[in-house]
């Protein structure tokens, strides 16, 4: 579904220099209001289209897998993940009031470096993340979900979870030695 002039784009995402990006988001109560539901729906569609080259070019979208509502200036504990598990096939997650219940001891990192729709510059360094996490959250209808994420989805979940607490990925890079974990943790 394309909304024409009202389509959410990556230009609507606030950047790292906007003070709101460092806010700690507030717990959400149910039922969600229609405006919040629409924002969630629009965010999912933008992320899906951003991963399809034809639409990414057409609508000038930067590719992304996750988006927290705080990145739109909305301080609610909500984020969405759109994961392309096979070309043109997507799994979507609407994550509300999440908690990380447990994390693996094994740490991993994104080999080519983490990116973020709120950061428009390259940042070098390793962002250590847990390889597997068990989480609890609520879906758009207020149903409680318990799930285990691993590898790439675990990284995206942790990245977006950090946004809810005002943390940007580069906060986790050691400023004195950005690559110190290269030989300790596994790159994916």
pLDDT of residue 7: 83
pLDDT of residue 32: 97
Which residues of the chain are under the pLDDT cut of 50? 1-4
Q: What is the pTM of this model?
A: 0.94
pLDDT of residue 5: 52
Active-site residue set: 160
pLDDT of residue 1: 41
pLDDT of residue 10: 86
Q: Can you say how many angstroms the Cα of residue 58 is from the centroid of all Cα atoms in its chain? A: 23
- How far apart (Å, rounded) are the C-alpha atoms in residues 159 and 153? 10
Phi, psi (rounded to 5 degrees) for 98: -75, 155
Looking at the domain that runs over 4-187, which CATH code has it been given? 3.90.45.10
């Amino acid at each position: 579904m394309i909304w024409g002039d009202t389509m959410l784009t990556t230009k609507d995402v606030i950047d790292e220099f906007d003070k709101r990006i460092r806010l700690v988001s507030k717990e959400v109560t149910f039922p969600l209001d229609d405006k919040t539901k629409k924002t969630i729906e629009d965010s999912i569609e933008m992320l899906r289209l951003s991963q399809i080259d034809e639409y990414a070019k057409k609508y000038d979208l930067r590719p992304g897998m996750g988006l927290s509502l705080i990145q739109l200036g909305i301080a609610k504990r909500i984020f969405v993940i759109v994961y392309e598990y096979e070309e043109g096939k997507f799994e979507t997650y609407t994550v509300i009031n999440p908690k990380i219940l447990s994390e693996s001891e094994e740490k991993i990192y994104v080999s080519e470096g983490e990116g973020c729709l709120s950061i428009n510059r390259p940042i070098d360094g390793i962002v250590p993340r847990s390889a597997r996490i068990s989480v609890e959250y609520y879906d758009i209808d207020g149903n409680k979900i318990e799930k285990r994420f691993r590898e790439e989805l675990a990284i995206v979940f942790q990245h977006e979870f950090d946004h809810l607490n005002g943390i940007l990925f580069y906060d986790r890079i050691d400023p004195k030695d950005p690559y110190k974990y290269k030989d300790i943790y596994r790159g994916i």
